[in-house]
Amino acid sequence: MEKRLAEQSDSARLRLARMQKLVDGIHSFQTGFFADNRALFRRLSDSGQEPETLFITCSDSRVVPNLITNSPPGELFIIRNVGNIVPHPDLPGGTAAAIEYAVQVLNVQNIIVCGHTQCGALQAVLDPSRIAHLKYVQRWVKQSERVRGIITERYSHLDPDARLTAAVQENVLVQLETLREYDFIASRLDSGKLRLSGWVFRLSTAEVFNFDPKIGEFVSLNTPTD
């Protein structure tokens, strides 16, 4: 009993320490970044948001859009969900609502779908048994089960790690196709008012790869442009 109480006490102290770390981070933000950018936050508060880009990416804690793109507050309208999935138009929900708001109200000029390597959602798509005990996750990633068929058909000769990377890439392309099913996106694409891009973020090297439709491959964006 004493041992169990001691373990519970240690666990409580650990949770408190982790929360305090976040509180300390808030103080650091206020005295650092915010203090140096008061005018930016005042402008954002007074004028509202006018983001240029809708950034759809995974909920994975290792993927931080503003950090990756070095974008200040106000430039990215961000949607995060498990597997950076775009639901079909006949499946309304929070993600679809955010897409509609970004395009119809905020008039974003770009939409980026950004996947990442070692994505647990795509591991689950390739091996559904991994999430057999997670009923809500099962329902969500089922929207990308088409990717499993693509991998089986085209990439079965690859080793498991390479297949997962291929699945991450193909998933991004599938989501871009789904975006085109939204009538308000299709009309803006036809009129040249909107641009779609597919990215993959490699966790181990922080490289970002963009899909180039001209060559049908993901190419690195890490070489600075002149």
What pLDDT, on the 0 to 100 scale, is given for residue 224?
A: 61
Which SS3 state, helix, strand or coil, does residue 209 take? strand
Cα separation of 199 and 211, whole Å?
A: 6
What pLDDT, on the 0 to 100 scale, is given for residue 8?
A: 64
CATH class assigned to 49-220: alpha beta
Compute CA distances 123 → 97, 161, 223, whole Å. 27, 10, 30
What pLDDT, on the 0 to 100 scale, is given for residue 3?
A: 58
Cα separation of 108 and 165, whole Å?
A: 29
Length of the chain as a residue count: 226
Which SS3 state, helix, strand or coil, does residue 117 take? coil
Which SS3 state, helix, strand or coil, does residue 79 take? strand
Assigned token pair, 135: 């009923």
Domain borders along the chain are 1-36, 49-220
The secondary structure of residue 52, as a DSSP letter, is S
The secondary structure of residue 226, as a DSSP letter, is -
Question: Across the 226 residues of the chain, what is the mean pLDDT of every consecutive 10-residue run?
Answer: 61 82 92 95 95 98 97 97 96 94 98 98 96 96 95 95 97 98 97 98 97 96 69
What pLDDT, on the 0 to 100 scale, is given for residue 223?
A: 72
Q: Where are the alpha helices (DSSP H) in the chain?
A: 2-29, 35-36, 38-47, 65-69, 94-100, 120-126, 135-141, 146-154, 160-179, 183-190
The strand pair at 195-202 and 76-81 is best described as: unpaired
Which SS3 state, helix, strand or coil, does residue 34 take? helix
What pLDDT, on the 0 to 100 scale, is given for residue 16?
A: 83
What pLDDT, on the 0 to 100 scale, is given for residue 208?
A: 98
What pLDDT, on the 0 to 100 scale, is given for residue 40?
A: 95
What pLDDT, on the 0 to 100 scale, is given for residue 12?
A: 76
